[in-house]
Amino acid sequence: MTTLTYREAIRVALSTALDADPRVLLMGEDVGRYGGAYAVSKGLLERFGPERIRDTPLAESGFLGAGIGAALGGLRPIVEIMTVNFSLLALDQVVNNAATLRHMSGGQLSVPLVVRMATGGGRQLAAQHSHSLEGWYAHVPGIKVLAPATVQDAHDLLLAALADPDPVFLFEHQLLYPTEGELDEARGPARIGEALVRREGHDVSLITYGGSLGKALAAASELAAAGISAEVIDLRTLRPLDTDTVCASVTRTHRAVIIDEGWKTGSFSAEVAALLAERAFYELDAPIARVCSAEVPIPYAKHLEEAALPRVPAIVSATLELFGRG
């Protein structure tokens, strides 16, 4: 076991993949000489050279399209997009090409593409760099959507994505890059489509993913002090969603709070709530609660940004209301 930061764990996985398979390459804005916008790829250009660590123009549709073409041609490209907001410039390539080619070709074509991007707010980067749009991608069949929340998952889910024959999108919350945790490199790839119980409990299920996991765990600790035992579920994969683990948790606890940094309207939290209404309705002893970002573009000012994003007090308050203690 080694203690690393989240960004270092991704770098280890990238290095492992580049060493093991000559078809793997990394491409994106500033991934080479600059070392990545979040320093994830620092040192990889010197180690693997410009053919495999490729700086691209500021043209998301162009270089994501190039990644799709490279995947069709037999390579295993990893495309890094600086932030999820910028990925919208390439949404046509995602929805109309990467996600559809296997199906439209009757299985003759495969697109083994991995796309990584930063998501979420909390760093005062304002509205064009701070949104959480992974729920939009989870709407699209033909791609897989992962949201690693821990150092171990940052490493293991990237390796799992590289082993998948179809497009996989990884959403890395900006606030997680400097966080530290233990990494066991010998564990190998994670299982895509498997949620984990990060904390066991019997009174309420706190269901979340990515950058909100730490907040859910902190809220669970505060709730324990108030006599409420909260179980924390880390979804890890938004598509395919591990419905069995989610429903099993709510069957145990009979209450659910969903924490999602996306906006509440049309959010991924709404999908999880609908799932519970369809499959676990008679297990619920209280309405499903959701804690999401305010329905505004994420502000730049620190106090306004903090007010707009899900916070531990909001999670605690929403949970207490389910017990008539709000």
Share above pLDDT 90 across residues of the chain, in percent, rounded to a whole number: 98
- What pLDDT, on a 0 to 100 scale, did the predictor assign at position 310? 98
- Evaluate if residue 326 carries a pLDDT over 80: no
Q: How far apart are alpha carbons 155 and 14 in whole angstroms?
A: 8
In sequence order, which ranges of the chain are alpha helices (DSSP H)? 6-20, 44-48, 60-72, 84-87, 91-93, 101-104, 134-138, 151-162, 213-225, 243-253, 268-279, 302-308, 312-322
Sole residue written with tokens 């049309």: 266
Answer for the pair 232, 206: CB distance below 8 angstroms, yes or no.
yes
Answer for the pair 196, 234: CB distance below 8 angstroms, yes or no.
yes
Band (189; pLDDT cuts 50, 70, 90):
confident
Mean pLDDT calculated for residue range 88-114: 97
What is the pTM for the complete model shown? 0.97
237-239/144-146 β-pairing:
antiparallel
Around Cβ 274, how many Cβ atoms within 10 Å?
11
Share above pLDDT 70 across residues of the chain, in percent, rounded to a whole number: 100
- DSSP letter for 171, please: E
The architecture that CATH gives domain 196-322 is: 3-Layer(aba) Sandwich (3.40)
Q: For residue 170, give the amino acid letter.
A: L
The CATH class, in words, for 2-187 is alpha beta
- What pLDDT, on a 0 to 100 scale, did the predictor assign at position 54? 98
**Structure tokens of 239?**
């598509």
Mean pLDDT calculated for residue range 259-288: 98
Q: Give the contacts of 200 (CB within 8 A, at least 6 positions apart).
A: 231
**Structure tokens of 58?**
């500021």
Give the orientation angle of helix 243-253 with respect to helix 268-279, to 10 degrees: 60
Band (37; pLDDT cuts 50, 70, 90):
very high
- What pLDDT, on a 0 to 100 scale, did the predictor assign at position 151? 98
Give the orientation angle of helix 213-225 with respect to helix 312-322, to 10 degrees: 50
Q: How far apart are alpha carbons 49 and 65 in whole angstroms?
A: 22
254 catalytically annotated: no
Answer for the pair 309, 293: CB distance below 8 angstroms, yes or no.
yes
Point out the catalytic residue in the list 8, 29, 60, 261.
60
Q: Give the contacts of 220 (CB within 8 A, at least 6 positions apart).
A: 199, 201, 206, 230, 231, 232
Band (188; pLDDT cuts 50, 70, 90):
confident
Point out the catalytic residue in the list 8, 29, 80, 129.
129
Answer for the pair 115, 170: CB distance below 8 angstroms, yes or no.
yes
- What pLDDT, on a 0 to 100 scale, did the predictor assign at position 13? 97
- What pLDDT, on a 0 to 100 scale, did the predictor assign at position 76? 98
Q: Give the contacts of 227 (CB within 8 A, at least 6 positions apart).
A: none
Sequence length of the chain is 326
- What pLDDT, on a 0 to 100 scale, did the predictor assign at position 139? 98
Band (114; pLDDT cuts 50, 70, 90):
very high
Q: How far apart are alpha carbons 179 and 279 in whole angstroms?
A: 36
Q: Give the contacts of 147 (CB within 8 A, at least 6 positions apart).
A: 119, 134, 170, 171, 173, 209, 210, 235, 236, 237, 238
Spacing of C-alpha 34 from chain mean position: 24
Residue range 223-244, pLDDT digits in tens: 999 999 999 999 999 999 999 9
Residue range 195-227, pLDDT digits in tens: 999 999 999 999 999 999 999 999 999 999 999
Mean pLDDT of the chain: 97
Strand partners, 257: 206, 289
Closest CA relative to residue 232, chosen from 203, 197, 202: 197
194 catalytically annotated: no
Band (325; pLDDT cuts 50, 70, 90):
confident
Strand partners, 199: 232
Band (2; pLDDT cuts 50, 70, 90):
very high
Domain with CATH 3.40.50.920 in the chain: 196-322
- What pLDDT, on a 0 to 100 scale, did the predictor assign at position 186? 87
Domain with CATH 3.40.50.970 in the chain: 2-187
Spacing of C-alpha 105 from chain mean position: 29
Mean pLDDT calculated for residue range 280-287: 98
**Structure tokens of 184?**
């066991």
- Evaluate if residue 319 carries a pLDDT over 90: yes
